[in-house]
Chains A and B, each alone.
Chain A
Amino acid sequence: MARKSHVQTTINGETVEFLCESRQSLLEVLRDELYLTGAKEGCNNGNCGACSVILDGRLVNSCLVLGVETEGKSVETIEGLAEPDKLHPIQDAFLENAALQCGICTPGFIMSAKALLDSNPNPTEHEIRYWLAGNLCRCTGYDKIVKAVMDAAKEASA
């Protein structure tokens, strides 16, 4: 049986400890060990972005990070985005714009959009499309997603 390591990390502002095998990805740890199932597995090799989380302030595919690598680091997931009584403006914009259909890619898109707006509060449509190109959506044709991110940026700068 594979040996497990003890890892201490910060997830959505809370200190979290878990045991994991070296081969378990951060995505597996989040979903199977911590039951944070908002990050989704779409491809498990970095091509779809459904597992996007923010690691030490930087957008990453959690399927391409080992759980053991997160020792001492800080992870933000979709579960930590909203305030107890208030959605994040990007979440609101996705709802207002009907920017989701099946919703499986939505957490990844929202985390990706958050990382974008954190680093570039006023992106152009092209910059949004460039940044989000690593997130696949098969339902919407992206139109309403791009508009939602544009709206969220406008909202934040208003």
Chain B
Amino acid sequence: MAEKKEYKVIGTRPIRHDGVDKVTGRALYGADFQMTGLLHGRVLRSPHAHARIISIDTSRAEAYPGVKGVVTAQDLPEAEDRVADLGEGAVNLKYLCDNILASDKVLYKGHAVAAVAATSPHIAEEACTLIDVEYEVLPPVLEVRQAMEADAPLLHESLKTTSMGEAADEPSNVASHIQHKLGDPEKGFAEADIVVERDFVTGTVHQGYIEPHNATAHFNQDGQLTIWCSTQGAFTVREQVAEILQYPISKIKVVPMEIGGGFGGKISVYIKPVAALLAKKTGKPVKVLMNRADVFEGTGPTPASYVRVKMGATKDGKITAAEAYLAFEAGAYPGAPVGPGAMCIFAPYSIENVVIDGYDVVVNKPKTAPYRAPGAPNAAFGSESVVDEIAEKLDIDPLEIRLLNGAKEGDRRADGPIHPRIGCIETLETAKAHPHYTAPNGKKHHGRGVASGYWFNIGLESSVTINVNSDGTINLIEGSTDIGGTRSSIAMQAAEVLGIPAESVNPSVVDTNSVGYTAVTGGSRTTYATGYAAYEAAQDVKRKMSARAAKLWEVDEDNVQFADGEFSCINGKEEQISFRDLCARLGETGGPVVGSGTVNPGGAGGAYATHVVDVAVDEETGKVEILRYTAVQDAGKAIHPSYVEGQIQGGAVQGIGWALNEEYIYDDEGTMTNASFLDYRMPTCLDLPMIDAVIVEVPNPGHPYGVRGVGEVPIVPPMAAIANAIYDAIGVRMTELPMSPDRLLKAMGKI
């Protein structure tokens, strides 16, 4: 149970532990890694979106001066058509390998085909142009609804639709169908006074991390493979590389360097196995870096989707039924996040009658990867727009209708489970009382919109070791790569337990040989689960230190009590010693103290957010300006409020980009025409106001301090909130993302 108490460290805002290295340019990211004798690798990518590989001739490249080795799919072990259960989920091994280096077919423009190691990156790049690949070009399928049609070109001849374990007879681009059902939707719609049904389309968008993927690999003479890289999870890199190369996990060490953003996009491996293959072939360490176009075209974006939402309500605003159809583009191989989309779409509401159908569909685009609350934003754009329309038609305040139907503890989610203690209502009430929401909003072409969002969060495995130092500090060893200040949020939880300042903890993120298994930094789990492991490790230290105090005082361990950083004796003896002083006496009381904590918690506790946005629409150009933005979110308990705010602000702004301008633009042949930061238009600081992040704290019963994951849910509401604000401004419902100026002009009938 969450403790209801005053904290000394939790809730404060110390300087992050890795801060100085990061503001002085000393922190070493993956691409910064240097090593004597390093070769540079470069990947040749397919110019076609869909083609059969007839032949690959690498001889001219191999003969080019400076080239030390060339690899293709031939260099990978034969991939079995079997499912491997990896840290990032179940994956068909053949699909996984084919996405690293295509064997028989290329399935998207940018699909890796071969790779070169050379003495300089420029030579490697030049040599790639000397690899002769003969293709039989096939027609591509680039859109989810087209891919679902019976006569659509097939990406995989052996792929058949599965529905909860049952496979269909005929091959299809539809990899799977899922369904959730609650109550009797037909009856629910019959009870409604008003029913709104709309179609929504969202484009392919990228996580847009600023640091491209990178990997340096080296094989020692004894067969030990070491990979230095930027990743969200060193252990999942180890597992994926082991499966792809059919190499024992015990012979692979992954060293996580600092990581320049991930947002879900740095879980799947791309060039890490390639670097390893090149290292093996050349006998030298090989560094492979992607450029920005490689990142857009060769790594997983998040799916484009087609979403249909139907909701019914009585005239006093009670939602009686809801129906959703979600078709998500998986990209070249199955695995779109339609499951999470289906799980989250109606989660802010308590609705008795619900049916949700979800489809995972392959198309000739890069295999999609997670991106911040994967699947939920696509779904919420639809549902939160429809709720807004119902509120408007019934003349009910949009926050009021959400409060009226808001999900509470004990309500059943559409996918079945019952909500534990959640903060949905609290975020709505906070938003409603916020000065932003109560401020006047009347100017011409200005509009205000609101939307809510849900993300379930995950737990998974984490390990932490604590070594106690004689000066009263501790070294905290963890395996969660730090993307946004989690060294500190984890360290602070250990500090709280031990009654020491945050600054007395030295957190280190270490390699896979040096800490227990730790799952990815993803699913908003790090502060929750690795923080939980740190709490457990600190408890272990506390127990062991109590034993030392007992030894010192010659009393039973039961007679030692610990509070506010002081051990005291509760058995008559007037003994007292601070944590710090006791640290200096470990040698004489039995030697070093090492604490450890491992967890695999199930009670991650879902997070809710409600956003309020004001926009101005230029009616002549269709351009939308964000005037004011307020994001309210339940954090359970904010360990380091500054970095919680940062997550909320960053997620909201990624949502703003998704809402207004970000999308992969394809030509008919399946080439992305805007694969650069110039034309893939992420928000700059000039496009934004300050983002008011408001933290609500409804403690999560599944964490000792009440923590809920905070990273993902803030990207869920923005698209619908902005669409609703645009409607408020100009009276037009936008149902396609992004809501770019040309689409607004069209919707307004100006072009």
Q: Which of B260, B289, B292, B686 contacts A133 (CB 8 A)?
A: B686
Chain A minimum-CB-distance residue to B688:
A142
A-chain residues with CB within 8 Å of residue B531 when the two chains form the complex: none
In the complex where A98-B643, A140-B650, A143-B649 touch, is A43 in contact with B292 (Cβ < 8 A)?
A: yes
CB distance from A125 to the nearest CB of B (A): 8
- Could you tell me the distance between the alpha carbons of A105 and B29 in the complex, rounded to whole angstroms? 12
The binding surface of chain A is classed by DSSP as loop
A-chain residues with CB within 8 Å of residue B83 when the two chains form the complex: none
User: B63 at the A/B interface (Cβ < 8 Å)?
Assistant: no
A-chain residues with CB within 8 Å of residue B691 when the two chains form the complex: 141, 143
CB distance from B524 to the nearest CB of A (A): 14
User: B690 at the A/B interface (Cβ < 8 Å)?
Assistant: yes
B-chain residues with CB within 8 Å of residue A38 when the two chains form the complex: 24-26
Q: Which of B18, B210, B485, B640 contacts A104 (CB 8 A)?
A: B210
A-chain residues with CB within 8 Å of residue B122 when the two chains form the complex: 2, 21, 23-24
Interface centre among A97, A101, A110, A130 (most CB of B within 10 A): A101
Chain B minimum-CB-distance residue to A39:
B25
User: A103 at the A/B interface (Cβ < 8 Å)?
Assistant: yes
- Could you tell me the distance between the alpha carbons of A77 and B607 in the complex, rounded to whole angstroms? 41
Chain B minimum-CB-distance residue to A42:
B210
Interface centre among A31, A43, A102, A146 (most CB of B within 10 A): A102
Chain B minimum-CB-distance residue to A97:
B642
The reply to whether B650 and A139 contact each other, CB–CB distance below 8 Å, is yes
The reply to whether A1 and B65 contact each other, CB–CB distance below 8 Å, is yes
The reply to whether B260 and A95 contact each other, CB–CB distance below 8 Å, is no
Interface size class of B (residues with CB under 8 A): 35 or more
Interface hits, B639-687 → A, CB 8 Å:
640, 642-643, 645-647, 649-654, 676-678, 682-686
The reply to whether A35 and B685 contact each other, CB–CB distance below 8 Å, is no
The reply to whether A102 and B259 contact each other, CB–CB distance below 8 Å, is yes
CB distance from A19 to the nearest CB of B (A): 13
User: B195 at the A/B interface (Cβ < 8 Å)?
Assistant: no
CB distance from A76 to the nearest CB of B (A): 12
User: B263 at the A/B interface (Cβ < 8 Å)?
Assistant: yes
The reply to whether A78 and B259 contact each other, CB–CB distance below 8 Å, is no
- Could you tell me the distance between the alpha carbons of A82 and B23 in the complex, rounded to whole angstroms? 9
Chain B minimum-CB-distance residue to A93:
B23
Q: Which of A81, A97, A98, A137 contacts B210 (CB 8 A)?
A: A137
User: B208 at the A/B interface (Cβ < 8 Å)?
Assistant: yes
B-chain residues with CB within 8 Å of residue A56 when the two chains form the complex: none
Q: Mark B246-273, 1 if CB is under 8 A from A, else 0.
A: 0000000000001111110000000000
User: B291 at the A/B interface (Cβ < 8 Å)?
Assistant: yes
The reply to whether B292 and A44 contact each other, CB–CB distance below 8 Å, is yes
| Stretch of A45-53, A64-72, A116-124 at the chain-chain interface | A45-53
B-chain residues with CB within 8 Å of residue A47 when the two chains form the complex: 292, 676-678
The reply to whether B688 and A106 contact each other, CB–CB distance below 8 Å, is no
The reply to whether A104 and B646 contact each other, CB–CB distance below 8 Å, is no
User: A115 at the A/B interface (Cβ < 8 Å)?
Assistant: no
CB distance from B547 to the nearest CB of A (A): 38
Q: Which of B22, B207, B686 contacts A103 (CB 8 A)?
A: B22
CB distance from A118 to the nearest CB of B (A): 18
Chain A minimum-CB-distance residue to B640:
A98
The binding surface of chain B is classed by DSSP as loop
Number of cross-chain contacts by CB at 8 Å: 190
B-chain residues with CB within 8 Å of residue A41 when the two chains form the complex: 31, 212, 289
Chain B minimum-CB-distance residue to A37:
B32
In the complex where A78-B24, A102-B211, A139-B650 touch, is A129 in contact with B685 (Cβ < 8 A)?
A: yes
Interface hits, B7-22 → A, CB 8 Å:
13, 15-16, 18-20, 22
B-chain residues with CB within 8 Å of residue A103 when the two chains form the complex: 18, 22-23, 27, 258, 260
The reply to whether B685 and A104 contact each other, CB–CB distance below 8 Å, is no
- Could you tell me the distance between the alpha carbons of A80 and B327 in the complex, rounded to whole angstroms? 52
Chain A minimum-CB-distance residue to B22:
A103
CB distance from A42 to the nearest CB of B (A): 4
The reply to whether A79 and B24 contact each other, CB–CB distance below 8 Å, is yes
The reply to whether A87 and B682 contact each other, CB–CB distance below 8 Å, is no
The reply to whether A98 and B29 contact each other, CB–CB distance below 8 Å, is no
CB distance from A86 to the nearest CB of B (A): 11
The reply to whether B20 and A87 contact each other, CB–CB distance below 8 Å, is yes
A-chain residues with CB within 8 Å of residue B683 when the two chains form the complex: 142
A-chain residues with CB within 8 Å of residue B25 when the two chains form the complex: 36-39, 77-79, 107
The reply to whether B210 and A136 contact each other, CB–CB distance below 8 Å, is yes
- Could you tell me the distance between the alpha carbons of A142 and B209 in the complex, rounded to whole angstroms? 14
Chain B minimum-CB-distance residue to A28:
B121
User: B66 at the A/B interface (Cβ < 8 Å)?
Assistant: yes
A-chain residues with CB within 8 Å of residue B210 when the two chains form the complex: 40, 42, 48, 50, 102, 104-105, 136-138
User: A54 at the A/B interface (Cβ < 8 Å)?
Assistant: no
- Could you tell me the distance between the alpha carbons of A147 and B259 in the complex, rounded to whole angstroms? 24
The reply to whether A31 and B678 contact each other, CB–CB distance below 8 Å, is no
B-chain residues with CB within 8 Å of residue A59 when the two chains form the complex: none
- Could you tell me the distance between the alpha carbons of A16 and B18 in the complex, rounded to whole angstroms? 29
User: B34 at the A/B interface (Cβ < 8 Å)?
Assistant: yes
CB distance from B151 to the nearest CB of A (A): 40
Q: Which of B13, B24, B652, B654 contacts A98 (CB 8 A)?
A: B13
Chain B minimum-CB-distance residue to A101:
B484
User: B152 at the A/B interface (Cβ < 8 Å)?
Assistant: no
A-chain residues with CB within 8 Å of residue B684 when the two chains form the complex: 132-136, 142
User: B394 at the A/B interface (Cβ < 8 Å)?
Assistant: no
- Could you tell me the distance between the alpha carbons of A126 and B20 in the complex, rounded to whole angstroms? 28
A-chain residues with CB within 8 Å of residue B653 when the two chains form the complex: 140-142
The reply to whether B650 and A104 contact each other, CB–CB distance below 8 Å, is no
User: A96 at the A/B interface (Cβ < 8 Å)?
Assistant: yes
Q: Which of B483, B651, B676 contacts A102 (CB 8 A)?
A: B483
A-chain residues with CB within 8 Å of residue B258 when the two chains form the complex: 102-104
- Could you tell me the distance between the alpha carbons of A135 and B686 in the complex, rounded to whole angstroms? 10
User: B28 at the A/B interface (Cβ < 8 Å)?
Assistant: yes
The reply to whether A91 and B677 contact each other, CB–CB distance below 8 Å, is no
The reply to whether B654 and A40 contact each other, CB–CB distance below 8 Å, is no
Interface hits, B470-518 → A, CB 8 Å:
483-485
Q: Which of B66, B260, B289, B688 contacts A141 (CB 8 A)?
A: B688
- Could you tell me the distance between the alpha carbons of A2 and B211 in the complex, rounded to whole angstroms? 28
Q: Which of A43, A82, A132 contacts B24 (CB 8 A)?
A: A82
The reply to whether B677 and A48 contact each other, CB–CB distance below 8 Å, is yes
CB distance from A84 to the nearest CB of B (A): 11
Q: Which of A21, A48, A87, A141 contacts B23 (CB 8 A)?
A: A87
In the complex where A40-B31, A96-B15, A98-B485 touch, is A138 in contact with B209 (Cβ < 8 A)?
A: yes
B-chain residues with CB within 8 Å of residue A134 when the two chains form the complex: 684
Chain A minimum-CB-distance residue to B122:
A23
CB distance from B520 to the nearest CB of A (A): 15
In the complex where A37-B25, A104-B261 touch, is A43 in contact with B31 (Cβ < 8 A)?
A: no
CB distance from B678 to the nearest CB of A (A): 5
The reply to whether A140 and B649 contact each other, CB–CB distance below 8 Å, is yes
- Could you tell me the distance between the alpha carbons of A95 and B22 in the complex, rounded to whole angstroms? 9
The reply to whether B26 and A95 contact each other, CB–CB distance below 8 Å, is no
- Could you tell me the distance between the alpha carbons of A47 and B7 in the complex, rounded to whole angstroms? 44
- Could you tell me the distance between the alpha carbons of A78 and B26 in the complex, rounded to whole angstroms? 9
Chain A minimum-CB-distance residue to B289:
A41
User: A7 at the A/B interface (Cβ < 8 Å)?
Assistant: no
Identify 27 residue pairs between A and B in the complex whose beta-carbon atoms are under 8 Å apart, listed by A's number. A36-B25, A38-B24, A38-B25, A41-B289, A43-B676, A45-B677, A47-B676, A48-B292, A82-B24, A97-B642, A98-B485, A101-B483, A103-B27, A104-B258, A105-B260, A106-B22, A106-B23, A107-B23, A129-B688, A132-B684, A133-B684, A136-B682, A138-B210, A138-B261, A139-B646, A140-B646, A144-B646
User: Given A42-B212, A94-B19, A102-B211, 19 other A-B contacts at CB below 8 A?
Assistant: A1-B65, A24-B122, A35-B34, A37-B25, A37-B28, A37-B31, A44-B291, A95-B15, A95-B20, A103-B260, A138-B263, A138-B654, A140-B649, A141-B691, A142-B653, A142-B684, A143-B645, A143-B649, A143-B691
Cβ-closest 4 pairs across A and B:
A38-B25, A104-B260, A141-B653, A141-B649
B residues in contact (CB < 8 Å) with A: 13, 15-16, 18-20, 22-29, 31-32, 34, 65-66, 122, 207-212, 258-263, 289, 291-292, 483-485, 640, 642-643, 645-647, 649-654, 676-678, 682-686, 688, 690-691, 693
